[in-house]
Amino acid sequence: MQNDTLANNRDSWRVGILFSRSGVMRIPQSEHFFGTALAIEEVNSAGGILGRPVEPIAYDPGSNPVAYRELAERLLIDDGVQIIFGCSTSAERKAVLPSIERWNGLLWYPSLYEGFEYSPNIIYTGAVPNQNSIQLARYLARQHGSRIFLIGSDYIYPRESNRVMKELVDAAQGEIVGEEYFPLVLADRSFGETLDRLCRIRPDAIFSTLVGEAGISFYRQYAETKLFAAGIPIASLTMAEGELAEIGGERAAGHITAAPYFSTVETPANRQFNQRFRAKFGESRPISMYAEAAYCQVHLFAQALAACGTTNPQVLAREALGAEFHAPQGLVTIDPDNNHAYVTPRIGIAAADCTFRIVHEEAEPVKPDPYLVSYDYDLDGFAPRGPGQAGARELPA
């Protein structure tokens, strides 16, 4: 309560921002940062919230989970902030979670992750596996086949995502033909041995959960192989427009990403979002799911704050649960059952101009199911047990 008074006695709403502008995660997190900044500017230029502007306090944790915890505590204790927009990886989020709960903050987390978490002090606006992995596995099985090679960074998100992918491939009577892990921070970025093995095995597709620079190096080196020439794709849940630009459009073309948002989504809200983003950050700045989710969650926060008038985490969270926002990706709703977001699953194929051609999108936003463990499905349905799932529509190729 003391913090609330401290923050509210000022003539602005102070919020914390914890996205890395440096280190291995600087590409997606800079996009989180830009999306957050754009939304705050929109809120403020529309007169702020209840007449007061949002005042961001931003720190750069440099992609180091320990720094996330320290800086989260600095925001909560020294700066008297209760609302934090931040973190991109599960390692970062799990590092700050105890501090957020202990000092009673509210974290808005904009990235996809592997599920199996719920904290009353966190709102999760990225996709969980029932909103990206299931759709990706089905797409791969239909379009490319079910002999899948798994490659990932060695931490919780790749390990859990691969567990889900294995179950999905098993259920489709497919086969996992290889599984390799690499350190998150990779000193020697040569994938020579793995690429040789891949060429011998010749899978139908590769599922990559390599993040950061390791992922970019892998895609670049893969472009030199005969598998790339043969059109065998790398599929991912994390490779967005910013990573494509870093890899190089020609070398990334044809690879597949499953995500709720691509810059090429055709909605009126997205056309406006593209225009504003470009006007503010320049024509060449990539626009991705990382920017969009971060943008969306600031607006959800602003709506909730306007309705309840306090940054007290419990009051604000209660207001945010069930809240809707017409985001660039379509309608986003915070699920009151689990604090995660209804998002619209899509599949995109990378094009040479570093954007995605969307080849599949669900007809409606899909309810998040962060604790899904049973994948009872067939190739036509992939109906997970639990909350009802919306139908899907295929887009013309």
With CB under 8 A as the contact rule, the residue among 23, 53, 62, 120 that binds other proteins is 120
Among the listed ranges 63-71, 267-275, 349-357, 366-374, the one in contact with other proteins (CB under 8 A) is 366-374
Determine, following the binding rule CB under 8 A, whether residue 163 of this chain makes contact with other proteins. Answer: yes
Listed residue (165, 174, 85) closest to 133, CA to CA: 165
Locate 380 and state its tokens.
């036509």
SS3 47: coil
Q: Which is nearer to other proteins, 144 or 163 (CB)?
A: 163
- Interface mask toward other proteins for 195-224; x: CB under 8 A: ------------------------------
With CB under 8 A as the contact rule, the residue among 156, 269, 315, 373 that binds other proteins is 373
Q: Which is nearer to other proteins, 292 or 369 (CB)?
A: 369
Determine, following the binding rule CB under 8 A, whether residue 254 of this chain makes contact with other proteins. Answer: no
With CB under 8 A as the contact rule, the residue among 31, 92, 117, 204 that binds other proteins is 117
For 104-115, letters b (16+ CB in 10 Å) and e give bbbbbbbbbbbb
Determine, following the binding rule CB under 8 A, whether residue 133 of this chain makes contact with other proteins. Answer: no
Cα torsion 202, 206, 208, 214 to 10°: value is 30
Determine, following the binding rule CB under 8 A, whether residue 385 of this chain makes contact with other proteins. Answer: yes
Tell me which DSSP letter residue 366 carries.
B
Determine, following the binding rule CB under 8 A, whether residue 102 of this chain makes contact with other proteins. Answer: no
Q: Side-chain half-sphere of 378: how many Cα atoms within 13 Å?
A: 1
With CB under 8 A as the contact rule, the residue among 135, 311, 338, 355 that binds other proteins is 338
Give the shortest CB-204-to-other proteins separation in angstroms.
Answer: 23
Name the pairing type of β-strands 330-334 and 324-327.
antiparallel
Listed residue (132, 136, 138) closest to 345, CA to CA: 132
With CB under 8 A as the contact rule, the residue among 23, 62, 178, 386 that binds other proteins is 386
- Are 149 and 177 in contact by the 8 Å Cβ rule? The answer is yes
Listed residue (71, 66, 102) closest to 86, CA to CA: 71
Determine, following the binding rule CB under 8 A, whether residue 178 of this chain makes contact with other proteins. Answer: no
Binding residues (CB under 8 A) for other proteins: these are 101, 116-120, 163, 337-338, 369-374, 385-386
